[in-house]
Amino acid sequence: MPWPFDLAASADAHAENVSGMELLMQRHPWETTAVGPVASWPFSLQLAVRTLLDCRLPMYLAWGEGNTQFFNDAYAPILGDKFATALGNDTRVTWAEIWPVIGPMWASVKRGEAQGSDKLELSINRYGYFETCWFTYSYSPVYSEEGKVEGVLSTFVETTGKVMAERRHAFQLALADILRAETAADALLQATWRQVSRYATETVVVYATVDHAAQAAVIREQWRQGAPDGEAGRVVPLEMLAFGRAALLLHGETVCVPDVAAEADIAGADAWLAQGIVSGLVVPLMDGARLEAVMALHAPVAQRWETAEVHLLEDSARRAWEALRRIRAEQALREETRTLELMKDATGKLASTLDLEPLMQAITDAATQLTGAEFGAFFHNHTDGNGDAYLLYTLSGAPREAFQDFGQPRATAVFAPTFSGSAPIRSDDITTDPRYGSMAPHHGMPPGHLPVRSYLAASVVSRSGEVIGGLCFGHSQPGMFSARTEELIGAFSGQAAIAIDNARLYDMAQKAAQEREHLLASERAARAEAERHNKMKDEFLAMLAHELRNPLAPITSAAQLLRLSEVNEGLRLKASNIISRQVRHMTELVDDLLDVSRVTRGLIKLETEVLDLNKVAMAAVEQARPHIEERRHALVVDLPPEQVLVEGDRTRLIQVLVNLLNNAAKYTPAGGRIALSVTRDGDTSTASVCDNGSGIDAQLLPHIFDLFTQADRAPDRSQGGLGIGLALVKSIVRMHEGTVAASSGGAQQGTTMTVTLPLAAAPARAGQAPRAHLAAAETRPLMVTIVDDNLDAGHSLAVLLRAHGHTVQVFEDASSTLRAPDIAGTEVFILDIGLPDMTGYELARRLRRLPAHARAVFVALTGYGQERDRELSRQAGFDHHLVKPVDIAKLAQILARVHAVVPAQAGTQALQT
């Protein structure tokens, strides 16, 4: 019986039939292990050991709770460096790194459940570093005599070589598909290194180009497990990438480093270890005898680079490199073809574009595309219609905002040659060019400038030798413009100059034709405008005649009524009211006409103060109330509780709101509704007048504030007016830096007029005691002298003043006034300006010089009411200036204040209107 059944069997006697592992087992001190001396082994253990010794496949046995290991000669290579300590040891100790994987399997086997599969992937450390291996295995339970599972019998076949061969084959097929399918250089590089990184798991795959001048490598791609890893564009020393063996790479030899720390010829291994690089493979990519690029694989753990693996990676890198070179050659050919096509198309487009502005943009776009620049600009000289020259520019690839804050190009060492007609300028990296950055204040590109590294510029010179401008191109990456690009742009700039010369000639011809057409159009427009104004004049004069005749009829009738002897007091009062009302109507018409005339000629001077718009609104309501009540309208006033302060002329702002309220009353059927509201919003205030009246037609609405504009009227012109009120409103509001707007839903839908004014700039109290609201003091009898060459007007005024208790005397010229002794003691002089023998101005000056009249109040009474007339009154010494027909209420207010007035020197007191 063989060992271990027969312990007396001599191994030496049967040496020719005894394997090496059997000899080792016979000599092993089993008594020191968990299974004890061989003599004490149960039959089941003896049988299992004999079975594995006789098996020619890799097999091992783990027995008992201590998982004591037994294995045969075929299994020994799988152990690698673990062989020396494996026999009789605990499996959990020997294979500690894979126990988390196989431990659960063994637990199932010890429950009587056999395990097995192919392509079991394990990461084992049998040579001092981890490696991925594949196995086909079977785990079987070994039963004791009592029927209990005492051991695990494992049969192993390592399939790593087969699996790796399959993986290499699959990798080569996938790479072949990539090299066949990809036609773009960048896509080829990315697809290749992605595939390599998926194959060489747990490594970082780096593709870098070589900068021989700097002895450095520029990392273009970096991948890990099929995904980008790290930032492209980093520059590292070539020695660092080549593990200190760059000389081998330069001669076209692959650098292979299994373990940096174990390589005696690598100085400063800590530099690689600090970056987590323990092992690596670097493949040179050559262009003839010149190293152009490298593929590097960096592993974080020590790794034995199998020869087949190295050859595979070398072959893959070089096949990809050759494919890349082929693609680039094809791309260069296509690019040259494209460039020639672009040049042809651009030349044709320039020749067919005759408008200068589109031509300049077409030149810029075509040149930018031709050069492959990221952005381009064409700075060109331009002369306007006045002969003034200045620099314009067109852009391509960048918005105008990218340049508008930097001003025009200066005569720096970089720009000046281009704008003086010199040869093209090309720089692979303008930031390192010796011509760059020599001029203050920026010493280069100002902050916020487009990121220009590659730079190209060419002059555009006309056939006459004039430098039309300069084409400038930029790219954020260095080295983007070649000598071929420079040659192309030089030729293109010549074509551009010819196209610009042709466009200029065409532009001159077009302008001449346009000028002729413009003259004809201007003549036609002037004729049409003159006809329109003539029609407007005729319509306005007809309206004016109608409006002025209307009041004359009731005035004439009332005057005839007063001549009748049997007129009683009631009829006399009624006739007087008719005359007063119609005269007031005529006065308003004339005042509106004069106001419009003064506003349109800029003769009105605003007397501004800080006002409360609420009070202005209430004053306007008081003035407009008779018109509103006459038509039985309901008036709603909505004012905010707080002051709404604006800066303006109180009289004019009241006039604006009165106009709007009167318009609302006029164009709203009797018994309508009118609303006046004041609001504030931010730094503006609004006053709105809203009615439910006749509304405004949509076609008329845009012109409602134009002079003489009115809606269609009935033949009886029952609504009256000259169509100047809203034009006056618009002009006054504009003088206050405000706006006025009208809105209406259409006919019979009512109208809303909105005035918007800026709030007062700073808080201030509204003007104290506005003039229009001064309370009249109680009138005392005064001595009044009236001088007017219209005796009817003078005597009628005298009758009114005497009725108020004043003593009045009337003269018809200046001479009789100066000779009259009765004027001594006169407290108020009311003087007409247009006297027959001297002007009222001169009469006022002479009376002022008399001591007896030094403290008298002088009132100018005239038909002239423009600002110039008021200024002449001030200079002559008048205290007040009233316009005919006189407003008795205003005159009474002046007389009531005479006792409180200290007359000022000529021209020093503000005149009251």
* Confidence at 721, pLDDT banded by 50, 70, 90: low
- What is the number of other CB atoms lying within 10 angstroms of the CB of residue 214? 11
- The distance between the two most distant Cα atoms of the chain, rounded to a whole number of Å, is 181
pLDDT tens digits for 418-476? Answer: 888 888 889 888 888 777 766 655 556 666 667 788 889 898 988 888 888 888 898 98
**pLDDT confidence tier of residue 553, bands split at 50, 70 and 90:** low
3-state per-residue secondary structure call for 613-649: HHHHHHHHHHHHHHHHHHCCCEEEEECCCCCCEEEEE
Band (pLDDT 50/70/90 cuts) for residue 16 is low
685 and 677 in contact (C-beta within 8 Å)? no
What are the CA-CA distances from residue 311 to residues 200, 283, 321 (Å)? 13, 10, 15
* Contact present, 507 and 360 (Cβ < 8 Å): no
Residue 340 and residue 348: Cα distance in Å, rounded?
A: 12
Distance CA 303, CA 472 (A): 54
Residue keyed to tokens 């009256």? 720
For the chain, what percentages of helix, strand and coil (3-state, to nearest 5) are there?
45, 20, 35
Q: DSSP readout, 646-710?
A: EEEEHHHHHHHHHHHHHHHHHTS-TT-EEEEEEEEETTEEEEEEEE-SS---TTTGGGTTSTT--
Instruction: To the nearest 10°, report the CA torsion of 176, 182, 184, 186.
Output: -60
Checking if the pLDDT of 854 tops 80, the result is: yes
- On the question of pLDDT at 497 being above 60, the answer is yes
User: Who has greater pLDDT, 505 or 435?
Assistant: 505
Which distant-in-sequence residues (6+ apart) come within 8 Å of 613 by Cβ?
A: 644, 645, 646, 653, 678, 685, 687, 757
Peptide bond between residue 4 and the one before it cis (omega within 30 degrees of 0): yes
CA distances from 463 to 198, 351, 418, 460, 629 (A): 62, 15, 17, 10, 83
3-state secondary structure 548-575: HHHHHHHHHHHHHHHHCCCCCHHHHHHH
Going from the C-alpha of 670 to that of each of 149, 629, 747, the distances in angstroms are 117, 10, 17
Distance CA 104, CA 100 (A): 7
Cβ proximity of 35 and 64 under 8 Å:
yes
Report the SS3 class of residue 249: helix
pLDDT, position 13: 44
DSSP calls for 117-181: EEEEEEEEESSSSEEEEEEEEEEEEEE-TTS-EEEEEEEEEE-HHHHHHHHHHHHHHHHHHHHHH
Average pLDDT for 289-293: 93
Q: Is the pLDDT of residue 63 over 60?
A: yes
- Rounded Cα distance between 429 and 258, Å, is 40
pLDDT digits (tens, 9 = 90+) for 194-222: 999 998 888 999 999 999 999 999 999 99
Question: What does the alpha-carbon distance between residue 418 and residue 66 come to, in Å, rounded to a whole number?
Answer: 89
Comparing 194-198, 318-322, 411-415, the range with the smallest average pLDDT is 411-415
Length of the chain: 913
Average pLDDT over residues 560-571: 74
| Residue 905: per-residue pLDDT | 38
Task: Give yes or no for residue 775 having a pLDDT over 50.
Answer: no
Average of per-residue pLDDT across 31-40: 93
Is the CB of residue 826 less than 8 Å from the CB of residue 844?
no
**At residue 716, does pLDDT exceed 50?**
no
Q: Return the CA Rg of the chain.
A: 56
In the prediction, which pLDDT does 102 show? Answer: 94
Q: How far is CA 857 from CA 749, 879, 902, 907, in A?
A: 53, 6, 9, 13
Q: Which among 358-362, 725-729, 807-811 has the top mean pLDDT?
A: 807-811
Nearest-CA neighbor of 129 among 305, 301, 306, 310?
Answer: 301
Least confidently predicted of 129-143, 318-332, 696-710, 805-819: 696-710
**Per-residue pLDDT reduced to its tens digit, 103-113:** 999 999 999 99
pLDDT at 392 over 80: no
Report which of residues 877 and 562 the model is more confident about: 877
| Sign of the Cα pseudo-torsion (85, 91, 93, 96, in order) | positive
Main-chain phi, psi angles of 436, to 5 degrees = -90, 140
Express as a percent the part of the chain with pLDDT over 70: 86
Q: Which of 476, 522, 466, 277 is nearest to 374 (CA)?
A: 476
Q: So what's the pLDDT on residue 638?
A: 93
- pLDDT at 478 exceeding the cut of 80: yes
Q: Given this model, what pLDDT does residue 119 score?
A: 83
Give Cα 129 distance to the centre of its chain: 59
- pTM for the whole structure: 0.42
Q: What is the pLDDT of residues 138-197, one digit of tens each?
A: 999 999 999 999 999 999 898 988 888 888 899 889 999 998 888 888 898 889 999 999
Can you give the pLDDT at residue 910?
A: 39
The contacts found for 549-555 with CB under 8 angstroms, 24 or more apart, are: 550/585, 550/720, 551/582, 551/583, 551/585, 551/586, 552/582, 554/578, 554/579, 554/582, 555/579, 555/582, 555/583
Confidence of residue 774 (pLDDT cuts 50, 70, 90): very low
Average pLDDT over residues 657-681: 91
Beta partners for 467? 461
Average pLDDT, the chain: 83
**Mean pLDDT computed over 308-315:** 91
| 3-state class (DSSP) for residue 472 | strand
